[in-house]
Amino acid sequence: MASSLKHPNARILIGEDAEETGRLAAQVLLDVVTTDPAAVIGLATGSSPLPLYSALAASGADFSAVSGFALDEYLGLPEGHPQSYAEVVRTEVTEPLGLDPALVHTPDPQGEDHAARAAAYDAAIAAAGGIDVQILGIGSNGHIGFNEPGSAFDSRTRVVPLAERTRQDNARFFGSLAEVPDQCVTQGIGTIFEARHLLLIAHGAHKADAVRLALEGPVGEQFPASVIQRHPQVTVVLDREAAARLGQRASD
């Protein structure tokens, strides 16, 4: 059965398994979209939000006026590559939820002038009125989006090299480690922090340390996800294993 955990830095919802975390996280988004059918949602890729997207698709809610902005995108993959986040967002989010493709954006990884394209991405988020709910996974090294350890808390959307550990973690999505790009474009920590509500999702024992450090470790740029401790509206949805190392296990 789902429970919640009193915590000074976030509202924490705990599901028995990934499927239940998907339903709990979906309820957070459905509440927002019911209030504002044209809400702006920040979209995360990776495996953590997949149960959420399945639950949203199953809800039958109307997402046709919702705008989406992906957190990040690999650099150096050919257009249409199945592991490009533009493709992942299209197949996992836009199509199953019935979003309008014209309202769904991913950072543009093609071409040369990345600084201008990155600035345009931040400008497009601002022009849409800012992000209402930013969905986040967490890397085992504390990255959010692709903001690796050391990323400035005031960073904006930009090109960054991928940490070796992240390339190894993400190799499972590719044929081999060599095929994983070594650069990407990511929303900055500053960009992410401007979202009005952060919704962080994690499953599994291998995320328990990262979740503990994000919520209870020292706040600093060496562990990017720790920035959530400074944000005024954070919901963290975990399965039991990912929640296992948090203090104060008093369920209410």
Q: Known catalytic residues?
A: 72, 141, 143, 148
Dist. CA 246–CA 8, nearest whole Å: 12
Chain position whose Cβ is nearest to ligand GLP: 137
Token pair, residue 102, equals 């014209």
- Measured from the CB atom, the residue of 153 and 173 that comes closer to ligand GLP is 173
Length of the chain: 252
Dist. CA 132–CA 29, nearest whole Å: 10
Residues lying near ligand GLP in the complex (CB under 6 A): 44-48, 71-72, 137-139, 145-146, 166, 170
- Measured from the CB atom, the residue of 189 and 247 that comes closer to ligand GLP is 189
- Least gap, CB of 103 to ligand GLP (angstroms): 20
Closest CA relative to residue 7, chosen from 194, 221, 241, 238: 238
β-strand pairing of 183-186 with 158-161: antiparallel
Dist. CA 141–CA 210, nearest whole Å: 7
Angle between helices 18-35 and 50-59 (to 10 degrees): 50
- Least gap, CB of 166 to ligand GLP (angstroms): 5
- Least gap, CB of 2 to ligand GLP (angstroms): 20
Do 155 and 147 contact (CB within 8 A), yes or no?
yes
- Least gap, CB of 123 to ligand GLP (angstroms): 22
- Measured from the CB atom, the residue of 12 and 192 that comes closer to ligand GLP is 192
- Measured from the CB atom, the residue of 151 and 170 that comes closer to ligand GLP is 170
Residues forming a β-bridge with 186: 72, 158
